[in-house]
Amino acid sequence: CVSVCPKNVFVVAVLPVEQRRELSLRGRLKGFAHGWKQAFTPNEAACEGCAKCVEACPESAIRLARR
């Protein structure tokens, strides 16, 4: 998602330990498998809904929603 986003909405970082506890078992397994790296959206307001990130996400973890 990071490389395809024209508005730099995403950044990849390591999920903090305290937030890992909130994940389901499946989420913890996936997190562990990926070294706890995941995409965050610090620039969410810049999103224009082009959906390039949805197509590029290898985990099918991104969904666009109207606000």
- Would you say 36 and 21 are in contact if contact means Cβ atoms under 8 Å apart? no
- The closest of 41, 56, 49 to 1, measured between CA atoms, is 56
Instruction: pLDDT band for 60, please (50, 70, 90 cuts).
Output: confident
Q: Is the pLDDT of residue 67 over 80?
A: no
Instruction: Report whether pLDDT(65) > 90.
Output: no
> So what's the pLDDT on residue 23?
96
3-state secondary structure 1-67: CCCCCCCCCCEEEECCHHHHCCCCHHHHHHHHHCCCEEEECCCHHHCCCCCHHHHHCCCCCCCCCCC
**In this predicted model, what pLDDT tens digit does every residue of 20-55 receive, in sequence order?**
999 999 999 999 999 999 999 999 999 999 999 999
